[in-house]
Amino acid sequence: EIIDDQSGILIPENNVNEYAKAIVKIVENKVYFDQLKDKAYNRCKALFSVDIHVNQMIKIYNKITN
């Protein structure tokens, strides 16, 4: 899931002007880019880490074997 200005930039479909604005915003604002990049990375790390995946698989296994 992409959260606008948290893990990415949401742009309306087929809206070339908004797409261009988003690119310019990222290119011209290094602080914004770094914040967006870091938030996206941390979100992915939290949601898709090996530990989380293993724990979810163990829960499923326990659920179907009990």
Q: For the segment 17-59, what is each residue's pLDDT rounded down to a tens digit? A: 999 999 999 999 999 999 999 999 999 888 888 998 899 999 9
**Separation of CA 16 from chain center:** 22
> Per the confidence metrics, is the pTM higher than 0.75?
no
Per-residue pLDDT, 48: 87
Per-residue pLDDT, 35: 95
Residues 12, 39, 21, 16, CA torsion sign: negative
Per-residue pLDDT, 64: 95
Per-residue pLDDT, 20: 97
How far is it, in rounded angstroms, from Cα 29 to Cα 38?
14
